[in-house]
Amino acid sequence: MFCYAAAAIAAVFCIIYFFHRRLCCRYPLFTDYPIIGMLPALLCNLWRIHDFSVEVLKSHGGTGEFTGPWFTNMNYLITSDPINVHHILSKNFSNYVKGPEFREIFQAFGDGIFTADAETWKYNRDLFQSLFKNRSFEVFLEKTIRKKVQNSLLVVLDHVQQQGRVVDLQDVFNRFTFDNICSTVLGYDPNCLSLDFPEVAIEKAFNEIEESIFYRHVMPKRLWKLQRWLQIGREKTMTEACKSFDEFIHALIASKFEKLSKYNENKTGEACADLLTTVMREGKEQHDAGFLRDAVFNLFVAGRDTLTSALTWFFWLVATNPLVEAKILEEMNEKIGRNENTASILTIEEVKKLVYLHGAICETLRLFPSIPFERKQALEADVLPSGHGVNPRTMILFSLYAMGRFEEIWGEDCMELKPERWISQKGGIVYVPSYKFVAFNAGPRTCLGKELSFLQMKIVAAAILRNYHVQVVEGSVVTPNLSVVLLMKNGLKVKITKRET
């Protein structure tokens, strides 16, 4: 008798909870099944999640709700509506934060600028804004990247083309940007990009951390927390990867502390030092090893993986759109000249003249944003401009990938690579509101390194295109990887040939 009563109570409870979920989820993106929620649709399309998000959001007017299995709190409001994005990231900025759950998922980022809120975020932002806007840092950055392009990138590509072998261009950029960010942030060049393509444990650890963070978004919280406690699966991989990174960074921090304790600023003789040294000098008391570690990790993500992603997708798009490549070369010849020494690396002032190249990079970031989705949490109840209600603690995901593929935002030719859409009739760069083109975020959290990123990408792109023709290997399957950074799953296999002068 007791069993029947218990079963009846359980059935009533399930029915009540089922209707409660139906009432709470007013704009479902998929069928909401009892107990398992909308998880089946997500898991079945996980392998093509970015393109799947485009299809689903288009069929629901750009905004809808996802509910996970019961009692997992795996519920999101997902949007690609630029008016909603503008409201959340700018107009009502104070009501939408990263939040504690975000910091838990992105624990590897620590309390750095990407995960922090309130005063911690403001302090980090003010600190790095003062560093990035310093003219001496721009000079240091230009010198560092031009040296790396000249002495490593072009040397490796020249060696590859002489051998006539296939190379993974994404791997080349991974190594190049890792060396470059190490030199810029740490003042240390690990020489990952060399002729023998050495295996670099710390570079591999970075990729594993990002992939693990992505899976935390699509797995119930209790499940990945259990895996973390048991140290199995992705969570074990993430723990080991974080340990490798932390050992690498803390060793360098200790070395710099020792160096700075022996020599004061005036005795170093450096007009401009790497970012870590500069931060240590400017905050000798409040910047402990933990703060510095978190700052370094966040700078690595901002200045390494995003550039790798952008450059890889850029060269794939250019290689598969020969007319765009021809126009980039034509612009360089017209504005820079047919320098017989094409191996010379363009300066920042020279690449600023390359408007068509700028447009091609913007198109790349529109179609393949380095960070394909953004996440926020509401503090208080709100109503979005689209009419969708937001409850306190609602998790909101923006699909930046989908936004670049909406006809309502970019026109019927949105799937075309069209640098001209970024160029005015007078030949200048067209301004597009950041809430439409969210590749560098929008509102108060707009990326501080936006202009520096463009300059670095232009220097690298111009150096390669002036010297080499890049051809994608026939039969290559190009698909996005499942990670918080939009890299290619199988890399970008290409053949390099010397360009005739």
Which residues are part of a known binding site?
A: 447
Q: How far apart are CA 437 and CA 322, in angstroms?
A: 25
Q: How far apart are CA 32 and CA 117, in angstroms?
A: 33
Q: What is the dihedral of CA 353, 357, 359, 364, to 10 degrees?
A: -150
Q: How far apart are CA 431 and CA 399, in angstroms?
A: 21
Q: How far apart are CA 371 and CA 486, in angstroms?
A: 6
* CB-based contact 146:345 (threshold 8 Å): yes
* Extended strands (E) in 119-242: 166-168
Residues making up the annotated binding site for heme are 447
First and final CA of the chain: distance in angstroms? 91
Could you give the residue ranges of the DSSP H alpha helices within 263-274? 265-268
Residue 79: name the closest of 61, 67, 93, 97 by CA: 61
What's the burial of 115, exposed, middle or buried (CB within 10 Å: 0-12/13-18/19+)? Answer: buried
Q: Which residue has the tokens 């951390």?
A: 209
Encoded tokens for 338: 């047919």
